[in-house]
Structure 1
C-alpha cells in the first residue's frame, strides 16, 4: 500500500480543511487549468499559422531550388542541364531568371521583381489555381504575355490584354568597360514591352511585387544569355524530397545551394518559431505565478496538520514519507487543474478546427478562421513544465512538514 499517496488523497478530499485552504486550493486548480488551456490554444495557433504560411508559399514554390553559393547567376550549359534532368528523382527542371526591373504603365511606374520562367513552369507549380483574372499562360502562339501580382495590378491600374498600351519594362544596360550609367535614357536602359495576360493572387508579398514573364523575354531585357539565377526542380512522387536534395548537393558540390521549400523561407519560419518560444516562456511564467497558490495552500495545510504530522512521526513515519505526502498533495492539485486545462484546450482547438468559430476578421484574408494545429510535442512540453513547476512550489512546504518537532506539536 502506498501510504504517502493514501494520506495525500485524504488531505485533498478532506472536508474538514479550513475554509481558506480550500479556497486557495481551488484557486490553484483553476489557475493551472486556465494556464494550461491558454498554452495549448496559443501554441496550436502558432502551429496553424506556420502551416498556413507553408501552404501559401507552397502554391508557388518548387520542391527544390538550385542557386549559386556566390554571385547572383551562374552559367548553364546544355550538357549540365541534361545531366540534371537524367538524375533519378528529378521529374522536371525549370530554368529561372529573376531580377529587379522598372515597370511603367501609362503615367505610373514601380520597381518589381521580374521572374523569367521556361515554358514548363506550370508543370512545376499549380499557380493556375491562383489566377484571379485572365489566363495563366505566358505565351499564346508567338505572343509573349506576363502574369502580374494582384497588388502590382492594383498599384498601376493594369488592364489585361491591352495591345494598344502594353507594359513597359526597363533594366540598366550593362555596357562592357563602363562603370557609370549613361545620361541618355536610350543608351542607359534596355527596354521591352509586354502585354499582361493574367493576374495571380498567392501571398501578399508575392502579389505586391512580382510579375512572371517568359524566359526568352527576361533574357532579352536583362541580357543574361546562358546565365540563370536559379533552377527549379520537381521531385518525382516515388522519391523523397530530402533524398533527392542530398543527391543534388553531392553532385553539384559547394558552388551551389539546393534548398527545399522551408529552407527558401528559413528566416520567416525561424521568426515564427522564436515567437512561439517566447510565447511559451511567457505563458509558462504566468502558469508559475498561478501555481504559487499551491505553495500557499500547502504551507497552510502543513500548519493545519501539525498534530497529524507529529502523530505520524511518533508512529514511525520517516521524513521521506512526509515529504512525499505533501509533494503528492501538490501534484494532485496540479494534476486536476492540468487535466481540466488539457481537456478544455484540446476541445476548443478541435471546435475551432471543425467549425472555425473565431474568424480572422479581415475581408482580404486567405482563410476565414484562425488556423489551429495541435501537436503532441507541445502537450508533452506543457506537461513537463507543469511537473517542474509543481515540484518547485511544493518542495519547500514538504521540507517544512518533514522537519517539524514532534515534542512541540503533540
Structure 2
C-alpha cells in the first residue's frame, strides 16, 4: 500500500489531539457535501422544467419539420419532397401552410398566425391532450371553414370557446400595393366559424397567436395554389430520430432544413440552457468558497502533526512524501463530501419527484401548470457534478498544501 495514502487515511479517521480539528474537518466535509447537493438539485430542477416545456411542445409540434432554407414557401410536388413519402422510417406525412393575418371579432382585432393543416394533422402529435371544449376537429366541410384558436387568443377576443359570430380574417393581396384611397381593396377577407374547440399549449407563443384551420382555407386566404411553408413528419415507432433526421437531410440537400422538436423551439430551450449554465457556474463558485474550509482544516492538521512529521523525516521520509500525505488528506475530504452530497442530492430529487414536497406556491389555483417543482435527474449532470467537485477540490488544496508544508514544517 502507498505509504502517504495509508497515513492520510489514518489521519482522516483517527482522533486528533485537538478536538477542534475533528470539528473543522467535519464542517469541511459538510460544506463540500452541501455544495454538491445544491448542484445536483438545481440542475435537476432545470431539467425538470425543460422536460415539462418539451412535453407541452410535443403535443403541438411535429416530430420532424421540413422547411425551405431560403424563402417562405415551396412546392410539395418537388421530387425530393415526394420521396419522403416512400421512406420506411416515415409514418405520417402532412403539409402545413403558415402565414400572418389579422382577425376581427366584433369590435376587437389582433394579429395572428393562421396555421393551415391537412386532415391527418391529428396523427402527427397527441393534440387531443391539449384540446378543450365540445366540438369536432373537422376544419372544413361543404358549408364553411372552422377554426381551433389558442385559449389566450379566445380570452383576448372575448369570443368564448363557441363563438356565435364568425372570425373575420384579413390578409394582404400578394404582389399588390396598398391602395391608400380605398385600403379595403388591398386585402382578402375570409370567415372562420367556431369548431367548438380551443387548444392550450401553456405557451404564450402559441396560445395567444395561433389558429388552426384547414390548409385549403389558408391557401385561399393567402392566394397560393399548392405551396406549403413546411412538411410535418411523424416517424414510425422504434425509429431512431437522429438517424432518421440525418438521412432525410442528406436526401433533401442544402435547399431544405430538417428540424426536430428542440430545434423548432431553439430560442426557448437555448434560454433555459443559458440559465442552467449560469446557475452551474454560480454554484461552482460557492463550491470554491466551501473548499476554503478544507484548506483551513489541512492547516490545523499540519500544525497538529508536526511531531509525526519529524518522526517520519527521521525514518527517511522526504518532502514529497510528507506533502503527498496532506494532499491525500484534502482529497479524501473532497471525495467524501462529494459522495455524501451526491447520495443526499439524488435522494432529495427522488423524494421531490415522488411526493412533491417543495411546491410552487398556490399550485394550479394560482395559474401554475404543476403544483410542485419538477425534477428530472440526468446521468450526464451527475457525472459532471462529481467531476467538477473533485476537480475543484483537488486543485484548491494543491498549492496551499505545498505552500503550508514548506512554511509550517
TM-score grouping bracket, smaller chain normalisation: over 0.9
Equivalent residue number for residue 146 of structure 1: 147
Matched, 1:236 2:226: no
1:199 maps to: 198
Matches within 5 A, 1:203-282: 203-205=202-204, 206-282=206-282
TM-score norm. by structure 1 comes to 0.92
1:2-401 equivalence runs, <5 A: 2-77=2-77, 82-139=82-139, 141-142=141-142, 143-163=144-164, 165-174=165-174, 176=175, 178-197=176-195, 198-205=197-204, 206-361=206-361, 362-363=363-364, 364-400=367-403
CA distance in 2, matches of 1:138, 1:182: 38
Question: Could you list the runs of 4 or more consecutive aligned residues of structure 1 that deviate by over 6 angstroms after TM superposition?
Answer: none
Against the structure 1 CA distance between its residues 281 and 136, is the aligned structure 2 distance closer, same or farther, given a 3 Å change threshold? farther
Unaligned runs of 5+ residues in structure 2 are: none
Distance in 2, matches of 1:133 and 1:300, equals 70
Change (3 A) 1:320 1:79: closer
SS at match of 2:16: coil
Determine if contact 2:140/2:214 at 8 Å carries over to the other structure.
Answer: no
Cα drift, residue 400 of structure 1 = 4.3
Q: Deviations over 1:4-57 (max 9, x none)?
A: 233223322333332433332222112111111101000111111111121111
Superposition RMSD in Å = 2.1
1:62–1:261 CA contact under 8 A, matched in 2: yes
Residue-pair matches, total: 403
Distance 2:212 2:407 in 1: 78
Shift of 1:77: 2.5
Give distance in 1, aligned partners of 2:254 and 2:239: 23
CA 1:278–1:139 in structure 2 vs 1: closer, same or farther (change >3 Å)? closer
CA distance in 2, matches of 1:319, 1:33: 31
Write the distance in 1 (CA, Å) between the matches of 2:112 and 2:181.
Answer: 23
* Pair 1:358–1:366, CA change in 2 (3 A): same
Question: What runs of 5+ residues in structure 1 fail to find an aligned partner?
Answer: none
SS of the aligned residue for 2:160 comes to coil
